[in-house]
């Protein structure tokens, strides 16, 4: 054991004292951190993690290849010719200890680099307040550890070539050729997909997936909340649709451009019914302040020559009062007022996409908290509508909304609503009339929180997808047509297997994989397809494809092949030493 420690210490010091190692190590670490900070800080959400993992893996492959190829070849071949191995053997060192000490010293350095790279990857994301931070920190970042099987593999290759050819230049040249091939894995892996038309992965699939999960709950809990909301949503949607732009009437003493008049009606309708302000609309109706409030708001845009009124033939307030869905939304709404609203607006989804949109005061998490029997308003709602409260169902419903935020909304900036659009033929600076570029008036006068507004938007999009789903038939037909090509390339292409380890080492679920597929810098094929066996069957659940590869098996194959090559290399190395000793 003492002999092994001396050999190990000698090999380790040779690496650490090398000037080329020091320069390369600190250069790779520094460049990697700087690039990741830039990618996370400057690139759009949909490209930042792919770019960060690309740079991390390429720099890691470069460092590990340089260290393994140069050191292993030098340790095995040059030590033999220089007489270092002969001295070690004459001093009583066993061949096994000589072999293992060289490998272990090398692995200590490479594993340390991988660990530092992983920690720096985490460090690079921390300064930025992304809503998807937890996904990146505890899921996607695990792809960095794909460098471990790569490290073992390049070590095994360099060692095998060294003991096989016993020539420094030949071993070095072939090893670097293999490194070059592995570096271009980003092209060689997805290249096969160029032979098939690759559809763009849409993030709408994540909404559809969660809508399907909600539908599953309605089947599981026959008298529960999910079933009641799904059953009532069509009625609720009909009430909202009855209040189209004809519900609002515009009049003025001046001549109004017909395009502007039409757009104003549409804008007011969309603002209240599609931008999450339904509770505000109801509140203004209840206080008989709708017309005056909207007109005061329009004065902010210097559109003070327009008067707004509502069509009294439509009793929308009464219809909403009778709606189960509206009663639910009302029961979990969070009140807000004045200066507090202005403060909390800066943490909202409508101001800037960040993790604050979920967790800060009066944001989405607050509304989700109210979905429980301790909330008296919610308890009254469930009792009135004969809805069974099941704690597990409520928890699963909250998780659906949480997942929608984490996997969909946190990756997408809020699209601001304009009063005037370019297609109206009216001059308009970008977002000049945007609701959320002019929030001071309406935010201060809101009676409900920004979290309430955000919840209403998510709720409408989720329930609309449950009741009015978009067909995935064409996407699924494409997948069936090229299924064999897609699956085989993911399974058997060695360059794709390395790509898979870098990008799919996190959770094996539909939403995690969808994020990676959406953000791919190269056109890799989408293998996560939602489909129905019968598109015309409204009662049928959506199914989705699983991964065509097993990431644990992929890691295992790389490691087993590496260990196999290392074992053969040791056997040849052992024979080589004895043969040389016999010749002497």
Tell me, yes or no, whether 153 and 58 share the same domain.
yes
511 domain residue, yes or no? no
Domain final residue pick, 448, 467, 486: 467
Q: Strands of 520-568 (E only): list them.
A: 530-531, 543-544
User: How many domains are contained in the chain?
Assistant: 2
Structure tokens at 555: 């890691």
pLDDT at residue 4 tops 60: yes
Give the separation between CA 489 and CA 207, rounded to whole angstroms: 28
Tell me, yes or no, whether 216 and 238 share the same domain.
yes
Under DSSP, the state recorded for 201 is P
Contact 404, 349 (CB under 8 A): no
How would residue 251 be classed by pLDDT, with cut points 50, 70 and 90? Answer: confident
Residue 22 sits at the vertex; the CA angle it makes with 21 and 24, to the nearest 5 degrees, is: 65
The pLDDT value given to residue 167:
72
Tell me, yes or no, whether 146 and 217 share the same domain.
no
The pLDDT value given to residue 92:
65
Give the separation between CA 160 and CA 152, rounded to whole angstroms: 12
The pLDDT value given to residue 452:
95
Tell me, yes or no, whether 217 and 157 share the same domain.
no
Tell me, yes or no, whether 368 and 451 share the same domain.
yes
Tell me the pLDDT tens digit for each residue of 487-524: 888 888 888 888 899 999 998 989 888 888 888 887 78
Tell me, yes or no, whether 150 and 210 share the same domain.
no
The pLDDT value given to residue 304:
62
Tell me the pLDDT tens digit for each residue of 295-313: 777 776 666 667 777 877 7
442 domain residue, yes or no? yes
75-79, 93-97, 322-326: range with lowest mean pLDDT: 75-79
pLDDT at residue 584 tops 50: no
The pLDDT value given to residue 581:
44
301 domain residue, yes or no? no
Contact 298, 463 (CB under 8 A): no
Tell me, yes or no, whether 50 and 89 share the same domain.
yes
Give 205 or 85, the one with higher predicted confidence.
205
Domain final residue pick, 436, 467, 498: 467
The pLDDT value given to residue 84:
66
The pLDDT value given to residue 426:
45
Domain final residue pick, 445, 467, 489: 467
Tell me, yes or no, whether 41 and 63 share the same domain.
yes
The pLDDT value given to residue 219:
92
How would residue 357 be classed by pLDDT, with cut points 50, 70 and 90? Answer: very high
> How crowded is residue 318: how many other Cβ atoms within 10 Å of its Cβ?
11
237 domain residue, yes or no? yes
Contact 456, 282 (CB under 8 A): no
The model's pTM: 0.86
CA dihedral sign, ordered 39, 42, 43, 45? positive
Q: What is the mean pLDDT of residues 319-341?
A: 90
Tell me the pLDDT tens digit for each residue of 383-412: 999 999 999 999 999 999 999 999 999 888
164-168, 233-237, 301-305: range with lowest mean pLDDT: 301-305
The pLDDT value given to residue 424:
46
Tell me, yes or no, whether 386 and 426 share the same domain.
yes
Owning domain of residue 37? 1-195+550-578
The pLDDT value given to residue 459:
96
Contact 555, 149 (CB under 8 A): yes
497 domain residue, yes or no? no
Give 383 or 255, the one with higher predicted confidence.
383
345 domain residue, yes or no? yes
**Highest averaged pLDDT of the listed ranges 53-57, 332-336, 396-400, 541-545:** 396-400
Q: What is the mean pLDDT of residues 335-347?
A: 84
The pLDDT value given to residue 31:
96
How would residue 430 be classed by pLDDT, with cut points 50, 70 and 90? Answer: very low
Tell me the pLDDT tens digit for each residue of 101-131: 888 999 999 999 999 999 999 999 888 877 7
Residue 248's nearest CA partner among 326, 320, 317, 313 is 313
Give 67 or 419, the one with higher predicted confidence.
67
Tell me the pLDDT tens digit for each residue of 125-149: 888 877 777 788 888 999 999 999 9
Tell me the pLDDT tens digit for each residue of 572-583: 887 766 454 444
Percent of the chain with pLDDT over 90: 36
Percent of the chain with pLDDT over 70: 83
The pLDDT value given to residue 544:
79
Tell me, yes or no, whether 89 and 167 share the same domain.
yes
* CA distances for 79 relative to 71, 73, 76, 155, 338, angstroms: 11, 9, 6, 17, 78
Tell me, yes or no, whether 380 and 444 share the same domain.
yes
How would residue 551 be classed by pLDDT, with cut points 50, 70 and 90? Answer: very high
Task: Give Cβ neighbours of residue 38 (< 8 Å, ≥ 6 apart).
Answer: none
The pLDDT value given to residue 82:
59
165 domain residue, yes or no? yes
Structure tokens at 481: 């047509």
The pLDDT value given to residue 362:
92
164 domain residue, yes or no? yes
Strand 530-531 relative to strand 248-251: parallel, antiparallel, unpaired? unpaired
Tell me, yes or no, whether 64 and 26 share the same domain.
yes
Q: What is the mean pLDDT of residues 398-427?
A: 75
How would residue 331 be classed by pLDDT, with cut points 50, 70 and 90? Answer: very high
Give the separation between CA 500 and CA 552, rounded to whole angstroms: 11
Q: Which residue has the tokens 């329009």?
A: 298
Strand 307-310 relative to strand 248-251: parallel, antiparallel, unpaired? antiparallel
- Mean pLDDT estimate for the chain: 83
């Amino acid at each position: 054991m003492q002999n092994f420690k001396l050999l190990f210490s000698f090999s380790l010091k040779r690496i650490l004292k090398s000037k080329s190692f020091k320069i390369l190590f600190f250069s790779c670490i520094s460049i990697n951190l700087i690039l990741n900070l830039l990618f996370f800080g400057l690139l759009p959400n949909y490209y930042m993690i792919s770019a960060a993992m690309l740079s991390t893996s390429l720099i890691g492959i470069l460092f590990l290849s340089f260290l393994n190829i140069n050191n292993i070849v030098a340790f095995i071949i040059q030590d033999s010719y220089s007489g270092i191995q002969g001295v070690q053997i004459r001093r009583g060192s066993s061949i096994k200890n000589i072999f293992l000490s060289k490998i272990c010293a090398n692995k200590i350095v490479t594993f340390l680099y991988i660990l530092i790279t992983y920690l720096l990857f985490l460090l690079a994301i921390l300064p930025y307040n992304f809503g998807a931070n937890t996904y990146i920190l505890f899921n996607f970042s695990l792809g960095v550890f794909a460098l471990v099987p790569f490290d073992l593999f390049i070590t095994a290759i360099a060692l095998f070539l060294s003991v096989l050819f016993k020539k420094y230049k030949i071993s070095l040249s072939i090893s670097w050729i293999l490194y070059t091939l592995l570096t271009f894995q980003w092209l060689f892996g997805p290249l096969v997909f160029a032979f098939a038309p690759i559809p763009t992965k849409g993030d709408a699939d994540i909404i559809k997936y969660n809508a399907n999960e909600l539908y599953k709950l309605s089947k599981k809990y026959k008298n529960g909340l999910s079933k009641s909301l799904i059953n009532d949503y069509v009625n609720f949607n009909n009430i909202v649709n009855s209040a189209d732009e004809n519900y609002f009437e515009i009049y003025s003493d001046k001549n109004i451009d017909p395009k502007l008049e039409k757009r104003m009606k549409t804008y007011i309708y969309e603002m209240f019914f599609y931008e999450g302000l339904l509770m505000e609309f109801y509140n203004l109706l209840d206080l008989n302040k709708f017309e005056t409030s909207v007109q005061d708001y329009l004065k902010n845009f210097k559109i003070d020559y327009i008067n707004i009124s509502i069509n009294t033939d439509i009793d929308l307030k009464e219809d909403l009062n009778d709606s189960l869905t509206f009663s639910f939304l009302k029961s979990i709404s969070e009140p807000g007022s004045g200066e507090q609203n202005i403060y909390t607006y800066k943490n909202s989804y409508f101001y800037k996409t960040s993790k604050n949109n979920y967790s800060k005061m009066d944001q989405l998490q607050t509304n989700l908290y109210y979905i429980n029997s301790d909330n008296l308003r919610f308890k009254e709602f469930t009792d009135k509508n004969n809805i069974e409260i099941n704690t597990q169902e409520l928890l699963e419903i909250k998780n659906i909304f949480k997942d929608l935020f984490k996997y969909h909304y946190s990756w997408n900036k809020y699209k601001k609503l304009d009063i005037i659009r370019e297609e109206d033929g009216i001059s308009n600076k970008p977002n000049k009339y945007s609701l959320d570029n002019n929030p001071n008036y309406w935010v201060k006068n809101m009676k409900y929180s920004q979290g309430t507004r955000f919840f209403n938007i998510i709720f409408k999009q989720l329930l609309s997808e449950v009741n009015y789903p978009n067909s995935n038939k064409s996407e699924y037909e494409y997948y069936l047509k090229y299924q064999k090509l897609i699956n085989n390339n993911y399974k058997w292409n060695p360059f794709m297997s390395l790509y898979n380890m870098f990008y799919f080492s996190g959770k094996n679920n539909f939403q995690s994989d969808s994020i990676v597929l959406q953000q791919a810098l190269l056109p890799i094929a989408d293998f996560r397809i939602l489909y129905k066996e019968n598109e015309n069957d409204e009662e049928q659940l959506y199914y989705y494809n699983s991964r065509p590869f097993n990431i644990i098996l992929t890691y295992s194959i790389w490691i087993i092949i590496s260990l196999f090559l290392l074992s053969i290399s040791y056997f040849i190395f052992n024979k080589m030493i004895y043969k040389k000793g016999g010749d002497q």
